[in-house]
Amino acid sequence: MERIPILKMGEFLLVTIQVDMHDRLAMALQDDLTNSIVKNLSRGVLIDISSVEIVDSFIGRMLSNIAAMSRILDAKTVVVGMQPSVAITLVDLGLSLPGVRTALNVERGMALLRDSIGRQEIGDADSND
Amino acid sequence: MNTMTPSPLTKVLQKYESELLTEWIGAQVAGSSRGRIPESEVREQSRQFLAALRPAVAGDNLTGIGAQEWAAVRDILKDLSRSRAAQGATPSETANFVFALRDPLLVRLEQEAGTHADQASMRRSVSKMVDHLGLFTFEMFQKTREDLIARQQQEMLELSTPVVKLYDQILALPLIGTLDSARTQVVMENLLQRIVETGAEIAIIDITGVPTVDTLVAQHLLKAVAAARLMGADCIISGIRPQIAQTIVHLGVELSDVATKATMAGAFALALQRLGLCVRRIPKAPTNPGEK
């Protein structure tokens, strides 16, 4: 069975979705991703959907689910590279992905993750004092 | 139908062409309150119309003006309606072009064929023909106006949704006019496209030019904001006038998820602050009199 590759980049995980998502693939991705987060103690997950042209409510829900699972495992999720047409479709479907952070491209998403994690560490350091 | 002997109408049109023309033009000039259209033009149009009418009525098909033989007449009326609409003539003035022909035509027809009872059906169908032509003119006139409105609507749609780059990574979207769902779609597409092109992080939606904000408009705005957020851009809504702020609260529209500012300047300041930028005054270089 085909799987979506999950790349480890330091303390982040990078997932690039380049194929049409179907139910089993999405379930497998959720499975793999949660396992990888735990195994690598990842702090952030970057999901690149710049090659996704068509979305439905299922993909929207999947993105929300992944974000929620990562949050429970203390990793931040950023969805990057959404196409304008995809954004419009998701909004029309009533899925504005609350709780999911977004960025224009991988570079910005990486900066966002670093920024938020850095801020969190400063906050932790402050509370330890 | 007997096509061998020409109908009385054809005879009238042939025999009294110049008289008909003079009487018709007289009626037209009397009918229009203002002399907006020069008489020479009216004369030329009337002459062309009569010339086209003669072969058209030869077929004795007086009421079926959709038929092939009426094509020339229809074209003339179409052009006339179009030019009259462009010249700013009223609908009645335009329809009067055709309706003014009825009386001269009926009078001459009576002269030619008498007021005999068997001619009554002839007169009725001539009258009907004029009615049909008049209605056709009117329809064409209206169609021209509707085309104009549709074109202007389209132009408005294209013109009124500019997305302006205010600064590196800051876009502004000044909205003018009412937001309906069709416009929201165009606005949203433009905005998202520009976000991709410029890599903007912040978009300021200015609604100073939006006359009223009801729940529907607010919903459309929030949709645009949500779509921009999915692309990784934050939105700030600015230009909220006091009345609009009151309306929004009275309607119970929830805008708390979006940063709102009263003015575009305030929104721009907030955008700069979010990007970690600031504007400061450059200290004036001390003027050194020795350098003069």
Q: Of A107, A29, A111, A42, whose CA–CA distance to A71 is shortest?
A: A42
What number of H helices and E strands is found in chain B?
11, 5
ipTM of the complex in this document: 0.76
Nearest to B230 among A87, A108, A109 (CB): A87
Task: Give A56's contacts (C-beta < 8 A, 6+ positions apart).
Answer: A93
Nearest to B227 among A80, A91, A103 (CB): A91
Tell me which chain B residue has its CA closest to the CA of residue A87. B227
Model confidence at B1, pLDDT cuts 50, 70, 90, reads very low
**Chain A environment of B185 (Cβ under 8 Å):** 88
> In this model, does residue B291 exceed pLDDT 60?
no
Give A76-125 pLDDT, tens digit per residue.
999 999 999 999 999 988 888 888 899 999 999 999 999 888 776 666 66
Say whether B226 and A79 touch across the interface (CB within 8 A).
no
> Topology of domain B164-274, per CATH?
Transcription Regulator spoIIAA (3.30.750)
Say whether B233 and A104 touch across the interface (CB within 8 A).
yes
The number of C-beta contacts closer than 8 angstroms across A and B is: 53
In the beta sheet, which residues pair with residue B235? B203
One-letter amino acid of B212: T
Which of these ranges, B126-140, B148-162, B217-231, has the smallest mean pLDDT?
B148-162
DSSP 8-state assignment for residue B1: -
In the beta sheet, which residues pair with residue A14? A7, A46
Q: Return the residue in B183, B189, B231, B234 with the most chain A beta carbons within 10 A, the one to mutate for interface testing.
A: B231
Model confidence at B289, pLDDT cuts 50, 70, 90, reads low
**B201 interface with A at CB cutoff 8 Å:** yes
Tell me the shortest Cα–Cα distance from A84 to chain B, in angstroms: 5
**Chain B environment of A102 (Cβ under 8 Å):** 229-232
In the beta sheet, which residues pair with residue B234? B202
Domain B8-153, CATH:
1.10.490.130
Give pLDDT, residue B3.
Answer: 45
Q: Looking up tokens 């977004």, which residue turns up?
A: A102
> Topology of domain A6-128, per CATH?
Transcription Regulator spoIIAA (3.30.750)
**Chain B environment of A92 (Cβ under 8 Å):** 223
Say whether A102 and B227 touch across the interface (CB within 8 A).
no
Tell me which chain A residue has its CA closest to the CA of residue B226. A96
**Chain B environment of A52 (Cβ under 8 Å):** none
Nearest to B226 among A86, A91, A109 (CB): A91
Mean pLDDT highest for which of A114-128, B80-94, B104-118, B225-239?
B225-239
B109-114 average pLDDT score: 76
In contact, B275 and B171? CB cutoff 8 Å: no
Tell me which chain A residue has its CA closest to the CA of residue B232. A103
Domain residue spans of chain B: 8-153, 164-274
Bigger pLDDT: B179 or A80? A80
**B181 interface with A at CB cutoff 8 Å:** no
One-letter amino acid of B290: G
Nearest to A104 among B185, B199, B227 (CB): B199
Residue B5 CA to residue B100 CA, distance in Å, equals 28
Tell me the shortest Cα–Cα distance from B190 to chain A, in angstroms: 9
